[in-house]
Amino acid sequence: MQKGQEFYGSIMDEAEAGNPHAMLELATNGSHLDNIFSMKMTERFEGIHLSRHVVDDEANRKLMGFEAPSREDIADIIKQMSDPGKIVFNCVLQKGGVEKLKQV
């Protein structure tokens, strides 16, 4: 099991125990995104917010400092979702990444 899955899984279990009717959303930089379907409560998420810092995959990975999922990886995950409308893309505006609105 991946660290991200363990971390998110334990938080989701706590939320379920404390309030089984709580609205849940996940904000992620994409690390361990491929593990999302093995989490027990994925279907309970109202939204999954995925941040990207640069449109280009290689530049995004370099800026973020880890193997962020590629646009193709993200598209594959969206295709597997029962409700792909839950994916929300967040764009972080920063120097060296997306610096201008027209780059979004």
Look at residue 5 and tell me whether its pLDDT is greater than 60. Answer: no
> What does DSSP say about strands 24-28 and 45-52: parallel, antiparallel, or unpaired?
parallel
Q: What's the pLDDT score for residue 8?
A: 58
Question: How far apart are alpha carbons 45 and 31 in whole angstroms?
Answer: 17
Closest CA to 53 of 3, 5, 104: 104
* Each residue's pLDDT tens digit, 16-55: 677 777 788 888 888 777 777 777 677 778 888 988 878 8
Residue of higher predicted confidence among 82 and 101:
82
Closest CA to 89 of 56, 53, 64: 53
Q: What's the pLDDT score for residue 20?
A: 74
**Please, which pLDDT band fits residue 60 given cuts at 50, 70 and 90?**
confident
Give the three-state DSSP class for 90. Answer: strand
Give the three-state DSSP class for 104. Answer: coil
Question: How far apart are alpha carbons 6 and 43 in whole angstroms?
Answer: 17
Percent of residues, the chain, with pLDDT higher than 70: 80
Mean model confidence pLDDT for the chain? 78
